Amino acid sequence: MTMLTASRRTEIAEPDSRPDAGGPRPSKTISDRIGWSRFGAITRYYPVLMLFILWEILSQLHLLDPMFMPPLEDVARTFYKEVFVTHELLDHLQMSVMRAAAGLGLATVVGIAVGIMMGRVRAIESFLDPLISALFPTPKLALFPLIMIFLGIGDASKIALIFLGCFFPITINTYSGVKNVDKFYIWNARTKGANGRQLVWHVIIPAALPFVFAGLRVATSTAFLLIVASELIAANDGLGYLIMFAERSFDPALMWCGILLIAGMGFTVDRLLLALGARLFAWQDS
Amino acid sequence: MNGTMVAAKPADVAKADPVHVDMRGVTQRYRTGRRGDLLALDRVDLQARRGEFVSIVGPSGCGKSTLLYIVAGLLEASEGEVLVDGKKIDGPDPERGLVLQNSSIFPWRTVEENVAFGPQMAGVAANKRRTLTKHYLEMVGLEKFAAFYPRELSGGMKQRIAIAQMLACGPSLFLMDEPFGALDSLSREVLQDQLLQLWERDRKTVLFVTHSIDEAVLLSDRVVVMSPLPGRVKEIVPIDLPRPREEARASQAFGQLRNHIWAAIRQETMEAIG
């Protein structure tokens, strides 16, 4: 349940955005039809734009130490070079995304399966519940040195770390979602002839899906955190490595490229998940 | 008048149609920890003939819903048994359709998909399912709302969907647990009339749990009055009002039956409250 409140908090941070579980938008207005709402989504983030402008002004006034914060145009120039000329940034991005996706994907599949089994089978529940309660609060990053002993410093250890970090929020949310399914939905389905498998597939999963989704959002941000952290600690590629490498070779513009890219990616993925949730859960009461 | 409305004798039950549902000594006990068990139902014997409309009324906590869930096969009785068509029931079955008070239709399915739920579980092909769904939606007058989600509908509409969902499974027995209990009185009367029309056309067996005496008298062939804690059958009142019943609400006989049942329940309720 802590996961749910955590995801709520990120929603509250965007007062204009509808909650991920929100219903369909009200009927189309004129401004919707000519695409103003899309424009509005951009203008909503004007404070971010202001921050960038402030950055640039302060740099021009030489109020920022260029060793920490180079002028924004330097960052932009480096970004352009790294993306379109040397493609180096893209290679690092690809490595990070691959690792994060593998760990997160694995955690999603296993986490949902384990969560459903915990919610449905008493023996599995009573066995795993104390284990998960005990392991969940442990910062998974603390296990990274140990994981590296077993899996080396390559992809495997990073994927395993991300898997561990994402597994818990997804499992716990799925489990509480399954436990929360209204008894009367289950009764109704059973009197309409649903067998055990159909019950899980047609009632338990759709009813628990909003919970699963909330867990998935938390897991996604955890994956971003862990990919950067593990690449900062030990890696030869990836965005975390790039940030560390740039810092050590006194290239703050390159470092900021890495930071902004990872921030932009986290933001984009979260927005995509929100949009997907709004579409999937159009049936819910807002 | 009261003299004619004594508890039904066994001979009375056996008179016309064969017994469809036969509850024999149904007892339900709940463990409540240190204070010992709570006896929710105490040796309930009750029969419903095929095609009969039987209502069960009683104060809250008399176990009337529990009894219905036992017949549905969702709860297992601590003692006693339920026979349907002479066979002991074992778990739920689409033959015994259930409609619950608060909309138990699935909010993640559209109206159409909700009605098609039973046939889908039974493996009916999609195109045949569509024909079935259309038929039952027309029957409850909601064919225009096929593509809507339940949250977009009123409480009365949701209950009509729940009834259509049950009908689509083709049950021979309707188990209805206060299906109109959460509705405003206008919707309630409309749905009562619709249910009456439906019942008079198909004459399925109905077990109808309600806390509204008017509703029970209006709809039923017999009204079972239950006493609270432990739930027992206190009295069975045959309702001999002529059918169709839509006009019966204003008649004098209706009022007398209602007063008789109310007197029985009031006494029990007073005793229970103390």
Domains of chain A, residue spans? 85-280
B223 neighbors B5 (Cβ within 8 angstroms) = no
Place of tokens 């952290």: A229
Average pLDDT over residues B183-204: 88
Task: Tell me whether the omega of the peptide bond preceding residue A26 falls within 30 degrees of 0, making it cis.
Answer: no
Interchain contact, B121 vs A192, CB within 8 Å: yes
Q: pLDDT tens across B53-107, in order?
A: 999 998 877 788 899 999 999 999 889 899 888 888 888 999 999 998 877 899 9
A43 falls in which pLDDT band (50, 70, 90)?
Answer: confident
* CB burial of residue B266 (10 Å; 0-12, 13-18, 19+): exposed
Residues of chain B with CATH 3.40.50.300: 2-95+172-179+195-273
A184 → chain B, closest CA residue = B104
> What is the C-alpha separation between A46 and B246, in angstroms, rounded?
65
Mutate which: B76, B114, B121, vs A, most A CBs within 10 A: B121
Interchain pair B149, A282: CB under 8 A: yes
Chain B residue with CA closest to A207: the answer is B108
Q: Which of A47-56, A254-263, B151-160, B246-255 has the weakest average pLDDT?
A: B246-255
- Most B CBs within 10 Å, among A180, A192, A205, A281, to test the B interface: A192
B97 interfaces chain A, CB cutoff of 8 Å: yes
CATH class label, A85-280? mainly alpha
CATH number of B2-95+172-179+195-273: 3.40.50.300
CA distances (Å), origin B54, targets B174, B198, B199, B204, B208: 10, 15, 12, 11, 6
Residue A21 has pLDDT above 90, yes or no: no
Report the Cα A162 to chain-centroid distance in Å.
11
- In sequence order, the β-bridge partners of residue B97 are B174
The ipTM estimated for the assembled molecules is: 0.86
Is B219 in contact with B57 (CB distance < 8 Å)? no
Percentage of residues in chain A having pLDDT higher than 70: 85
Q: How many C-beta neighbours within 10 Å does residue A70 have? A: 21
Contact B74 A187 (CB under 8 A): yes
The pLDDT of residue B224 is 92
Q: Do B166 and A192 touch (CB under 8 A)?
A: yes
Query: DSSP character for B231?
Result: B
Report residue B232: phi and psi, to 5°: -135, 155
Spatial contact of B216 and B57, defined as CB atoms under 8 Å apart: yes
SS3 of B94-138: the string is CCEEEECCCCCCCCCCCHHHHHCHHHHHCCCCHHHHHHHHHHHHH
Cβ B58 vs Cβ B66: under 8 Å: no
Cβ within 8 Å, pair A206-B108: yes
- For residue B167, give the amino acid letter: L
Is residue A230 within 8 A of residue A144, CB to CB? The reply is yes
Report d(CA A181, CA A208) in Å as an integer.
7
pLDDT given at position A221: 92
Residue A190 tokens, joined: 């059973």
pTM: 0.79
Between residues A233 and A285, which one has the greater pLDDT? A233
Band of residue B11 on the pLDDT scale cut at 50, 70, 90: very low
Strands (E) located in A25-76: none
Tell me which chain A residue has its CA closest to the CA of residue B167.
A192
B23 to chain A, any CB pair closer than 8 A? The answer is no
pLDDT tens string B140-187: 888 899 899 999 898 889 999 999 999 999 899 999 999 988 888 888
Question: With an 8 Å Cβ cutoff, is B96 touching chain A?
Answer: yes
